[in-house]
Amino acid sequence: MSDPLESEQPGLRAYRGPETARAEPSGLREYAVLLWRKRVTILVVAAICVGATLAYSILTKPTYEASASVLLEPPISQTLVEASSPAGIAPLPDVPDGIEVIESSAVAQLVAKTLPGAPSVTATQVGTTDVVQVAVRSKDPQAAAVAANAYAKAYIAFEQKQTQDTFSSAQSQVQNKIDTLQLAIANLNSQIRSAPPTTNVTPDETQLGDLQGQLTTLQNQLQNFQFYASQGVTTEAGQVISTATAPSMPVSPKTVEWTVLALIFGLILGIGVALLVNALTPPRTRLTETAG
């Protein structure tokens, strides 16, 4: 017996058709069903990734990092400029140049003299300060600390040597000028003393006064250079403000972080494998699996 509503309203049966169509699984739901069906494949791929990561972490020998802190000082030339400047402009150290020197082969050669086979060094600026961290990585935590301290001390020694060489060269040049002036003054004095009484020696005396003034200026410069070479060299090269100690925790391998990343990567890779397998599966096989 037919429904009276259907006979009175013929369009009702046609209206129920779209409801049936909307009840069919959507594309997102189909993917969810597919992934659930392939869950074993996804989990196996993820397990392989995690297992490989754990095996690598276990088999890899830990690496330790130790670091010392060095406070850089401005070059000695800037310090001399500040001392002679009426404005009193404070000199600033060149941190990038200091980092280049710490990582240079010259400093490495100094370290190799006391610590043969020392690992390489990495220098980084601490924020925007004049402090540089001197870091060394090694399989042995004690060796990392010893090497970091060696690099910090070698940098100070290198800068001190550069400063000493600079002042030695400057002293030599100034001393040569002083010797030349003293010889000229001695000759001029001899001329003035040996001149006849009627000779006008005023020009010679004026020149002698100028030479003596230049001599005084050069002697003051020489004293400044000698002072900085003997007293200022110990601080102008920089200071080690903290020494490295043997670290207790390794920086590599990072087992926990790597395992989490391996799990995420494994799940993504497993999903990709599942979708690829599904795409390569013949349509009839897909229908059989769905029906099953």
Per-residue pLDDT tens digits for 191-222: 888 888 877 878 888 888 898 999 999 998 88
Strand order in the sheet with 239-242: 121-125, 131-138, 64-71, 239-242
Confidence label for 85 from pLDDT (cuts 50, 70 and 90):
very low
Q: Which of 76-85, 185-194, 221-230 has the lowest mean pLDDT?
A: 76-85
Confidence (pLDDT) at 205: 84
Least confident of 84-93, 104-113, 264-273: 84-93
Asked if residue 288 has pLDDT above 70, the reply is: no
> Which pLDDT band holds residue 5 (cuts at 50, 70, 90)?
very low
For position 89, what pLDDT does the model report? 53
Per-residue pLDDT at 234: 55
Task: Answer yes or no: is pLDDT of 104 > 70.
Answer: yes
pLDDT at 107: 95
Residue 20: pLDDT band by 50, 70, 90 thresholds? very low
pLDDT confidence of 90, banded at 50, 70, 90? low
- For residues 119 and 175, give the distance between their C-alpha atoms in angstroms, rounded to a whole number: 44
Residue 4: strand pairing partners: none
pLDDT tens column, 235-256? 567 889 999 999 999 998 888 8
Residues 145 and 66 sit within 8 Å (Cβ to Cβ): yes
